[in-house]
């Protein structure tokens, strides 16, 4: 992945492109991406809702976040959102940007797309803060994301496990291991 290309930022038909190489483009999410991503995630057994993508794009239009799509050889292959201020978990009120819902379609995984999405999100975050944060699920389905975040320098904040935006306490029973059972991580940006 050519590191120097991440310095590029240019307008592409009204949308910003944050990264581009021979196969991958990281750009602002477009309305048409919502249905493609919804259909592709459904085909791989997930249960998305197209309205979810529309909601995230509305939030981007309101200036609350940046919604990014990764294209691989011209096809939407993944997405991530960078909210300009964390409003949940241990980072609430710290004015740190938070990376939310990184996803790469299974058929496009292991091509560096997740790394490209993360690099773009971190570069945008660095324009606002010296620290970026995120929450990651604890079940095995998030294992590759957990490893990627560790390799990128993210460390746990030390607040332990959270469920549905509430900090779990020692010996507490958490019955549901789902997307809401997370640990929070942060990274100092350079």
Q: How many domains does the chain have?
A: 1
Kindly tell me if the per-residue pLDDT of 37 is higher than 50. Answer: yes
pLDDT band for position 148 (cuts 50, 70, 90): very high
Evaluate whether 8 touches 17 at the Cβ level (below 8 Å). Answer: yes
Angle, CA 96 vertex, CA 117 and CA 76 arms, to 5° = 20
Predicted TM-score of the model (pTM) = 0.91
The pLDDT assigned to 175 comes to 78
Give pLDDT tens digits for 93-123.
Answer: 999 999 999 999 999 999 999 999 999 999 9
Evaluate whether 41 touches 48 at the Cβ level (below 8 Å). Answer: yes
Kindly tell me if the per-residue pLDDT of 146 is higher than 90. Answer: yes
- Residue 60 sits in a domain of what CATH number? 3.40.630.30
For residue 20, give the DSSP letter. E
Cβ count within 10 A of residue 99:
27
Q: Which residues pair with 10 in a beta bridge?
A: 17
Closest CA to 158 of 167, 150, 146: 167
The pLDDT assigned to 84 comes to 98
User: Looking at residues 33-53, what average pLDDT do you find?
Assistant: 92
Nearest-angstrom CA–CA distance, 57 and 62: 9
Give pLDDT tens digits for 9-31.
Answer: 555 555 789 999 999 999 999 99
What range defines the domain where residue 116 resides?
3-188
Kindly tell me if the per-residue pLDDT of 2 is higher than 80. Answer: no
H or E element in which residue 32 lies: helix 31-43
Q: Which two tokens stand for residue 71?
A: 């294209």
């Amino acid at each position: 992945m050519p590191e120097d290309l991440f310095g590029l930022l240019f307008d592409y038909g009204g949308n910003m492109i944050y990264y581009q190489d021979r196969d991958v483009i990281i750009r602002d999410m477009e309305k048409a991406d919502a249905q493609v991503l919804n259909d592709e995630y459904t085909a791989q057994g997930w249960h998305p809702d197209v309205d979810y993508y529309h909601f995230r794009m509305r939030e981007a239009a309101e200036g609350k976040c940046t919604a990014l799509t990764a294209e691989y050889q011209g096809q939407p292959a993944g997405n991530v959102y960078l909210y300009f201020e964390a409003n949940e978990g241990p980072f609430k009120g710290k004015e740190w940007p938070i990376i939310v819902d990184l996803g790469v379609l299974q058929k496009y995984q292991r091509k560096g797309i997740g790394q490209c999405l993360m690099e773009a999100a971190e570069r945008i975050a660095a324009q606002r803060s010296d620290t970026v944060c995120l929450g990651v699920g604890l079940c095995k389905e998030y294992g590759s994301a957990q490893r990627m975040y560790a390799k990128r320098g993210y460390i746990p904040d030390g607040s332990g496990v959270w469920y549905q935006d509430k900090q779990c306490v020692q010996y507490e029973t958490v019955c549901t291991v789902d997307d809401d059972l997370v640990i929070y991580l942060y990274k100092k940006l350079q």
